[in-house]
Amino acid sequence: MRTMTTTHGPVRSELSGRGQPPHGLAVAALGLAAGGGAQEAGEPPQPARPVLPTAFVCSPAYRRHDTGPYHPEQPARLDAIEQRLRERGLTAHLLAVTPSPAALEWVSTIHSPQYIERVRRSCAAGMPCIDSADVSVCPESYAVALLAAGGVLAAIDAVATAQARNAFCAVRPPGHHALRDRAMGFCLFNNIAIAARYAQGKHKLGKVLIVDWDVHHGNGTQAAFYDDPTVMYVSVHRDPFYPGSGKAAEKGAGAGLSYTLNVPLPVGSGDAEYRQAFIESLVPAALAFTPDLILVSAGFDAHQADPLGGMRVTAAGYRTVTQMVKDLAARCCAGRLVTVLEGGYDLEGLADAVETHVRVLLEP
């Protein structure tokens, strides 16, 4: 067990949600890879070049966000992911990162203090939902949502301080629909948007690229950075579809003009269409932007088996887009890449896609 603690103070508990606990990492690694170049006969032995691990963020506490028996955004999603990674022997090669709740100072870079307090009060009062019938909550949802955001911040810490080369965050509730003052689309706090501000503020990573391949447009993430030239948002999504935003004409405003790039795809699009969208739109935009960090809203609900998405992406398609983003990170920002679970509601399809995704992240 290795631990790394930041300067935010001691962690009280995973679900404390009080004060401003650290986004320090409690990490455990098994089976870390090491490698080096070929050695000619007769040469003195060369020290092995360590290969940084891939970090994995998850927590049993994420299951405590109870959405009810019929809601598609279920705790079973994380069970399916973790079971698959164990069965395939991948867990042993990941750096396990234990999250702590996000400090409110970082959450409030994206959400208003009034909204944050309203979420807290609504959950504490036992309200069944917030702002929309699809945002089901329970008394523990506020604390779990802070822990979800904090998990992504912990991954940022790991990657920014070279404890890991990249990271996958299996967190819930998801976040990319959450607006400054409104919950929607299963989302309470915008995990990836908070992470972008944290990377900029805490680790001085000035330019952040957010790639969103969830089948739904990330309206909350787009809104958070629409006039900001330091965060480029690129979304490839089904259109027309929920939440109704994400048209190609939406390109940013003011200083942020041309730093939002939407690539809407028709229903039924599959691997070939996604690959083309990435090659023609994402890759040139990313290379021109030269980010210091790449974040991915990794929704897997464009999978062909998903009950909500209506798309035809396969596990092989997710391998392709993951590899393309990983290659961009290698070219632009020393490999710094953090991916964050958003959608994906067919349990078998989700497990297939995440397994493929994590295998690419683990590859040298």
CATH number of the domain that 111 lies in?
A: 3.40.800.20
- Tell me what pLDDT residue 51 has: 85
Helix (H) or strand (E) holding 341: strand 337-341
Residue type, 302: A
Residue type, 298: A
| Residue 279: both structure tokens together | 């090659």
| Residue 224: both structure tokens together | 């958070």
Q: Is 16 contained in some domain?
A: yes
Q: Is 157 contained in some domain?
A: yes
Per-residue pLDDT of 265-284, as tens digits, reads: 999 999 999 999 999 999 99
Per-residue model confidence as pLDDT tens for the chain (364 residues):
233 333 333 223 334 333 333 344 444 433 333 333 334 445 566 555 568 999 999 999 999 999 999 999 999 999 999 999 999 999 999 999 999 999 999 999 999 999 999 999 999 999 999 999 999 999 999 999 999 999 999 999 999 999 999 999 999 999 999 999 999 999 999 999 999 999 999 999 999 999 999 999 999 999 999 999 999 999 999 999 999 999 999 999 999 999 999 999 999 999 999 999 999 999 999 999 999 999 999 999 999 999 999 999 999 999 999 999 999 999 999 999 999 999 999 999 999 999 999 999 999 9
Containing structural domain, residue 7: 2-31+52-362
Number of domains in the chain: 1
> For this structure, is 177 an active site residue?
yes
- Say how far apart CA 347 and CA 72 lie, in whole Å: 10
Q: Is 44 contained in some domain?
A: no
Q: Is 47 contained in some domain?
A: no
Could you say which of 65, 177, 237, 303 is catalytic? 177
- Say how far apart CA 54 and CA 40 lie, in whole Å: 30
- Tell me what pLDDT residue 278 has: 98
Q: Is 37 contained in some domain?
A: no
Q: If we measure between CA atoms, which residue out of 104, 101, 102, 82 comes closest to residue 92?
A: 82
- Say how far apart CA 254 and CA 309 lie, in whole Å: 33
Q: If we measure between CA atoms, which residue out of 282, 25, 283, 285 comes closest to residue 169?
A: 25
- Helix 347-362 vs helix 315-332: crossing angle, to nearest 10: 30
List C-alpha distances in Å: 259 to 104, 252, 286, 292: 27, 6, 10, 15
Q: Is 43 contained in some domain?
A: no
| Residue 94: both structure tokens together | 């990941």
Whether 301 contacts 339, CB under 8 Å: no
- Tell me what pLDDT residue 73 has: 98
Q: Is 203 contained in some domain?
A: yes
Whether 317 contacts 359, CB under 8 Å: no
Q: Is 354 contained in some domain?
A: yes
- Tell me what pLDDT residue 31 has: 32
